[in-house]
Structure 1
Amino acid sequence: MTLLEQQQRSAPPRRPGPISLPLGLLKTARPRQWVKNVLVVAAPAAAGELFTRQTAVQLVLVFCLFTAAASAVYLINDARDAEADRAHPDKCRRPVAAGQVPVPVAYAVGGLLAVLAPAAAAFLCTPMTSALLTGYVGMQLAYCISLKHVLVVDLVVVTTGFLMRAMIGGVALDIPLSRWFLITTGFGALFMVSAKRYSESVRMADADGELGATRALLTEYTTGYLRFVWQLAAGVAVLAYCLWAMEEGGTGLLPWRQLSMVAFILAILRYAVFADRGTAGAPEDVVLRDKPLALIALVWVGMYGLAVADL
């Protein structure tokens, strides 16, 4: 580390201006991560319940509430880790660590969002929606405090966060959730989460452990174990999806639901290429970065849409 870098990191945080504070709060809320919350449409889409104005309005509301809940966790997490982040080569640029957002402000805004999101869900949606959001916030805060340091549990918590996103749209609209839908979504999420951890572990090994500070628990996992987890999760997700697709038949021109199995399996195989190389980062980045994978995803959406419409 150069003398200049040491001086920059040891310098007192700069005082935020009237414009930089709102921008810093927005950046801390991780706008790039909001794309994950599109999963709230998963259950209604699977049930073919997307084509009414009331449903669309409700799903937009649920998306906003889940985004607020997730942002609350990011704000509290960054406030809690501010000191450690200032010593990190990349995280030191985060608004809270850099002093753009004062730690007390991050705690206050995060705490307010954590309370308001479930409360608004109870008033505007259903009690179960509020309970699910409350459970999500509580689980994620427990993850930030301690669960991210517990082997296997950290994988389960992150996976459950994805599963809750996929469930909440159905819960808000009182749509029954298929067991195969839940299994496919859960193990599909575990596949992507463990593939990301595996990639981080591979990069850490290539860097002779220098990246261990970015996620300390990675030193406790072996690359062989993480490879086993993502391969197992991929297999279960494919099997569950096939059983789900075969469960119902249609009267359309072609068996679109069954044909969608091909696109789903191709997507898993394509994603596994990046997992095997150790280059599978955040799921949204992988899908948006790789054009063939994005194309396969669009084909799958088209096939499943035809199945739901029974064309």
Structure 2
Amino acid sequence: MSDRTVIPLLEKQQDRRAATGGPTLPPQRRALRPLGLPLGLLRTARPRQWIKNSLVVAAPAAAGQLFSVHSALQLAVVFVLFTAAASAVYLINDALDAEADRAHPTKCRRPVAAGQVPVVVAHAAGTFLAVLAPTAAAFLCNPLTAALLTGYVMMQMAYCLRLKHVLVLDLVVVTTGFLMRAMIGGIALGIPLSRWFLITTGFGALFMVAAKRYSEAVQMADSPHKGKTRALLSEYTTGYLRFVWQLAAGVTLLGYCLWAMERGGATDGGVLPWRELSMIAYIVGILRYAVFADRGSAGAPEDVVLRDRGLLMIGLVWMAMYALAVADL
């Protein structure tokens, strides 16, 4: 039989075995379609996760410094560089977790776990991007931006290799990654970062991370593969994770309200106190997201944000209020 005949037969056999829970062929033996490898690499880089990197505008937005050509261009460069660094982490992480992902009900479809992208190729592509992003930042931005990107990549590599298996530290590392996203735009533009900004952003990130872990723990509670998919899920209790995301949500709201009242009373000169009014939308947004966290359906934050129309509408209202506050209208 020719390769053109064998390849479809092997793929159909593999899919049939996977669907029935039977043994599957080693991923290295699975044939790739012509565009399978580049598309697989793109999927492994998680394009849907790139929305997280929009946090690079957080510090400039908080300081009201988004409305210049220089700022816009610099932030576009920072967004691309952070996306490259984050993609490097996803590629290497999936290469390291290929075996564990095959035991997960949804992660088994990831290109590396499914055999669409060879492990060695994922490692090579991830390493290339991990070196490229900080190096480019040193030339296109400033040394502090390059240092932060380097620190991000090193921290995430440590997470992939070891820290993801350490209680509490895994939450801290993922939260710090979000905080770095929010900081890097301000660092690239030389904007001072206020304590309220760091508190609100840091605990907001912890809220989403803990809610994600809680949702994963709830969904995998009765699964025989629980310990194989994410080892710490068998060590965290749902009660503890619920406590963490509820605590983080409370501190996030408190930090934002204190910041809004302090900044609003001192600087807003518009018709209405938009900064204080934005607290309403912010609080409602947190409460809306908490509904999904409590249900155990916040395992993919980007899906919650993008698919829930109510949350999207609340976010748009909050952004409008905040923009009016910055413009003093």
TM-score where L is the length of structure 1: 0.94
Shift of 1:281: 2.2
Asked if 1:268 is matched to 2:281, the reply is no
| Aligned equivalent of 1:213 | 228
Work out the CA distance in 1 between the residues paired with 2:36 and 2:157.
Answer: 26
3-state SS of 2:193 partner: coil
| Aligned equivalent of 2:32 | 16
Asked if 1:281 is matched to 2:299, the reply is yes
Q: Given that residues 200 and 278 in structure 1 are in contact (C-alpha distance below 8 angstroms), is that contact kept between their aligned partners in structure 2?
A: yes
Q: Which runs of 5+ in 2 are unaligned?
A: 1-16
Work out the CA distance in 2 between the residues paired with 1:202 and 1:99.
Answer: 28
Work out the CA distance in 2 between the residues paired with 1:38 and 1:120.
Answer: 19
Structure 2 vs 1, CA of residues 76 and 213 (structure 1 numbering), >3 Å: closer, same or farther?
same
Q: Given that residues 79 and 106 in structure 1 are in contact (C-alpha distance below 8 angstroms), is that contact kept between their aligned partners in structure 2?
A: yes
3-state SS of 1:6 partner: coil
Q: How many residues align?
A: 310
Q: Given that residues 69 and 137 in structure 1 are in contact (C-alpha distance below 8 angstroms), is that contact kept between their aligned partners in structure 2?
A: yes
Shift of 1:210: 4.7
Note the alpha carbon deviations across 1:22-43, whole angstroms, 9 max, x for none: 1111111111111110111111
Work out the CA distance in 2 between the residues paired with 1:86 and 1:135.
Answer: 30
* Range 75-84 or range 136-145, more displaced: 75-84
Note the alpha carbon deviations across 1:154-213, whole angstroms, 9 max, x for none: 1111111110100000000001111100100000110111111112222223x2555443
Shift of 1:131: 0.5
Q: Given that residues 94 and 112 in structure 2 are in contact (C-alpha distance below 8 angstroms), is that contact kept between their aligned partners in structure 1?
A: yes
Shift of 1:278: 1.6
| Aligned equivalent of 1:236 | 251
Asked if 1:252 is matched to 2:267, the reply is no
| Aligned equivalent of 2:6 | none
Shift of 1:80: 1.7
Shift of 1:5: 4.5
Q: Which runs of 5+ in 1 are unaligned?
A: none
| Aligned equivalent of 2:175 | 159
Asked if 1:307 is matched to 2:322, the reply is no
Note the alpha carbon deviations across 1:76-113, whole angstroms, 9 max, x for none: 11122223334444333322233322222211111111
Work out the CA distance in 2 between the residues paired with 1:290 and 1:35.
Answer: 15
Work out the CA distance in 2 between the residues paired with 1:152 and 1:23.
Answer: 35
Q: Determine what percentage of the aligned residue pairs are the same residue.
A: 74
Q: Given that residues 204 and 212 in structure 1 are in contact (C-alpha distance below 8 angstroms), is that contact kept between their aligned partners in structure 2?
A: no
| Aligned equivalent of 1:184 | 200
Q: Given that residues 268 and 325 in structure 2 are in contact (C-alpha distance below 8 angstroms), is that contact kept between their aligned partners in structure 1?
A: yes
Asked if 1:227 is matched to 2:245, the reply is no
Work out the CA distance in 2 between the residues paired with 1:224 and 1:71.
Answer: 32
Work out the CA distance in 1 between the residues paired with 2:22 and 2:46.
Answer: 27
Shift of 1:229: 0.7
1:1-311 superposed matches below 5 A: 5-10=21-26, 12-16=28-32, 18-205=34-221, 207=222, 210-248=225-263, 249-311=267-329
Work out the CA distance in 1 between the residues paired with 2:134 and 2:312.
Answer: 33
Work out the CA distance in 2 between the residues paired with 1:3 and 1:191.
Answer: 35
- CA RMSD between the two structures: 1.8
Work out the CA distance in 1 between the residues paired with 2:25 and 2:172.
Answer: 34
Work out the CA distance in 2 between the residues paired with 1:262 and 1:53.
Answer: 32
Q: Given that residues 257 and 304 in structure 1 are in contact (C-alpha distance below 8 angstroms), is that contact kept between their aligned partners in structure 2?
A: yes
TM-score where L is the length of structure 2: 0.89
Work out the CA distance in 2 between the residues paired with 1:266 and 1:136.
Answer: 31
